[in-house]
Amino acid sequence: MQVIVKIAQGSVRGATRDGVASFLGVPYAAAPEGPLRLRPPAPPPAWDGVRDAVAYGAAPPQLPPAPGVPPIWRPGDGLACLNLNVWSPDPGGAGLPVMVWLYGGAWQVGATAMPQYDGAVLARSGVVVVTVDYRVGFEGFGHLPGVPDNRGLRDQVAALEWVRGNIAAFGGDPGNVTVFGQSAGAASVALLTAAPAAAGLFRRAIAQSIPAGLRTPDEAGRVTGALAAAAGVPATYEALAGLPPEAVLAARDVTATSPFGPVVDGELVTGPPWAGMAGPAARGVELICGFTHEEYRGLAPGGPPAGVDPAAGAASFGLDADAVPTYGLAHPGAGDAELFTVLMSDALVRMPTTWTAEAHARAGGRTWLYDFTWKGPALGAAHGVDVPFTFGDGRSRFAGRLLGSPPPAGFAELSERVRRAWTSFAATGDPGWPRFDLDQRRTRLWDLPPADVPYPLADFRRIWGRPPQR
């Protein structure tokens, strides 16, 4: 059944299925092409008549996520990628909580059209779900002289401004918005929570696996220089904006494995996610954050390199000599590869997420922390394993890689529990487990059955000491 909604730009025609109306590929900003290429997002154009919103828009330019995986973006897709999608259980109603999803992908890949991000099941819990396409790679995070940094984050802010102005037309409450995301999306959530530019655009935040990693302008500038040299052009805005996106992507392939990400610009990004949590913008946002128990298994699904030395890994992060013995005491009988996996899980995600929770709680923010300990049959409690549980879909290709196919017994029950917690938090600010504070440090363990325990990584947390401020 078709349904038409009037928004600021014009009318959009969506479709209703199984009690949920979906509106796909709705532009929240102008296409970043021509004079808008590699620029901050500009307001979306208006249209006459009714615009069909029954198919996803184009993904942002990007390389295939892995060898042999079909490309998410092709050159013929163009640059009209600043779109979002809305699922509503009651587009004619009012006052529903709103949840806005920001995908992960190491700042290099991602698109809302990926099946694992379908919002229909989550919307049936009584919330309006919005998923946002934002620019990744050089288009979103490349550093250029005279051009604002962090265009991908600016896209997210523009999408949240669109939500504030238009979501009531879909039955949502613009004053009760929760922004949530995983991996790079979780870092986006945390950075926006602290950013004055996003103040007032959302009330609550859920950050699933916050990674470490920022670039200074100098570091980002060196990446731009290497990319421009590979493309055979000067490292200027005019030269790089004049290249088709596929040429930029081809040049990107000769740079670092993950060359792009948030740049410390002194405006949107002033430091790592935890550093901004003491500011007034962050204190006023209620925050859930957490990690999967074996993050590195998803970040390096092939496992650690052969002959890996945990002690050398610990030293590279500036840890003391007693770090590896402490990890060994907690994992008796573990070999070097397993210890390295635990160490890297802490370095890349578990500690950054913990530091963010601590900083938010220390500043007086309402904070909740979790450890997703449920283990899939293939990769265990790996990075990303929580995404199928969040969206209630255990049968996508993404879910199959992490959960097996069909998903194991218990998936439906735990997914329902997670979704109930997330939507309850979005509606009321209470996910159903004790808040995290610096005394009791209560933490939810997501497994069957869930449990609420003292922070489970206390011995490892002591090893890492004070969090870095860049």
Tens-place pLDDT, residues 94-132:
999 999 999 999 999 999 999 999 999 999 999 999 999
In this structure, are residues 167 and 174 in contact, taking their beta carbons and an 8 Å threshold?
Answer: yes
pLDDT, mean over the chain? 94
**pLDDT, tens digit, 9 for 90 and up, residues 317-329:** 989 878 888 898 8
Give the C-alpha distances (Å, rounded to integers) separating 216 from 11, 54, 135, 220: 42, 41, 19, 6
Number of H helices, E strands in the chain: 17, 13
Nearest partner of 152 among 164, 138, 162, judged by Cα: 138
Instruction: Indicate the DSSP class of residue 65.
Output: S
Confirm whether 183 is a catalytic residue. Answer: yes
**pLDDT, tens digit, 9 for 90 and up, residues 361-405:** 999 999 999 999 999 888 999 999 999 999 999 889 898 889 988
| Chain CA centroid to CA 204, Å | 15
Range list of β-strands (E), 135-249 = 172-182, 204-208
Q: Residue 398 is encoded by which pair of tokens?
A: 């993404």
**pLDDT, tens digit, 9 for 90 and up, residues 74-98:** 999 999 999 999 999 999 999 999 9
pTM of the predicted model, to two decimals?
0.96
Which H helix or E strand runs over 241?
Answer: helix 237-241
Band of residue 446 on the pLDDT scale cut at 50, 70, 90: very high
Q: Is the pLDDT of residue 187 over 60?
A: yes
Q: What is the pLDDT of residue 255?
A: 55
Tell me the residue length of the chain: 470
Q: Which of 139, 345, 383, 415 is an active site residue?
A: 383
Band of residue 303 on the pLDDT scale cut at 50, 70, 90: confident
Conformational region of residue 405, where left means phi above 0, alpha means psi within -120 to 50, and beta covers everything else? beta
Give the C-alpha distances (Å, rounded to integers) separating 297 from 93, 123, 294, 328, 342: 43, 30, 6, 18, 9
Q: What is the pLDDT of residue 428?
A: 97
Q: What is the pLDDT of residue 257?
A: 63
Q: Residue 432 is encoded by which pair of tokens?
A: 């159903």
Confirm whether 139 is a catalytic residue. Answer: no
Q: Is the pLDDT of residue 263 over 90?
A: yes
Q: What is the pLDDT of residue 345?
A: 97
In this structure, are residues 23 and 170 in contact, taking their beta carbons and an 8 Å threshold?
Answer: yes
Please provide the DSSP assignment of 98-161 as one string.
Answer: EEEEE--STTT---TTSGGG--HHHHTTT-EEEEE----HHHHH---TTS-S-HHHHHHHHHHH
Q: Is the pLDDT of residue 137 over 90?
A: yes
Q: What is the pLDDT of residue 254?
A: 58
Nearest partner of 349 among 392, 321, 385, 402, judged by Cα: 385
Q: Residue 455 is encoded by which pair of tokens?
A: 């922070």
How far apart CA 228 and CA 279 sit, in angstroms, is: 37
Q: Which of 139, 286, 294, 295 is an active site residue?
A: 295
In this structure, are residues 425 and 178 in contact, taking their beta carbons and an 8 Å threshold?
Answer: yes
CB count in 10 Å sphere of residue 198? 22
Q: What is the pLDDT of residue 34?
A: 95
Place of tokens 């209560």: 442
Share of the chain above pLDDT 90, in %: 82
Instruction: Indicate the DSSP class of residue 263.
Output: B
Give the C-alpha distances (Å, rounded to integers) separating 438 from 360, 361, 454: 10, 7, 11
- For residue 376, give the 3-state DSSP assignment: strand
Q: What is the pLDDT of residue 253?
A: 62
Could you tell me where the DSSP H helices lie in 305-440?
Answer: 310-316, 323-330, 336-345, 351-362, 386-391, 397-403, 411-428
In this structure, are residues 364 and 338 in contact, taking their beta carbons and an 8 Å threshold?
Answer: no
Confirm whether 219 is a catalytic residue. Answer: no
How far apart CA 205 and CA 287 sit, in angstroms, is: 5
Place of tokens 């494995």: 257
- Which residues, at least 6 apart from 257, have a Cβ–Cβ distance to it below 8 Å? none
In this structure, are residues 129 and 99 in contact, taking their beta carbons and an 8 Å threshold?
Answer: yes
In this structure, are residues 116 and 197 in contact, taking their beta carbons and an 8 Å threshold?
Answer: no
Share of the chain above pLDDT 70, in %: 99
Q: Is the pLDDT of residue 469 over 90?
A: no
In this structure, are residues 142 and 224 in contact, taking their beta carbons and an 8 Å threshold?
Answer: yes
In this structure, are residues 192 and 28 in contact, taking their beta carbons and an 8 Å threshold?
Answer: no
Conformational region of residue 209, where left means phi above 0, alpha means psi within -120 to 50, and beta covers everything else? left
Q: Is the pLDDT of residue 264 over 70?
A: yes
**pLDDT, tens digit, 9 for 90 and up, residues 204-262:** 999 999 999 899 999 999 999 999 999 999 999 999 999 999 999 988 765 556 789 99
DSSP β-ladder status, 50-52 and 20-27 = unpaired
Q: Which of 183, 209, 396, 415 is an active site residue?
A: 183
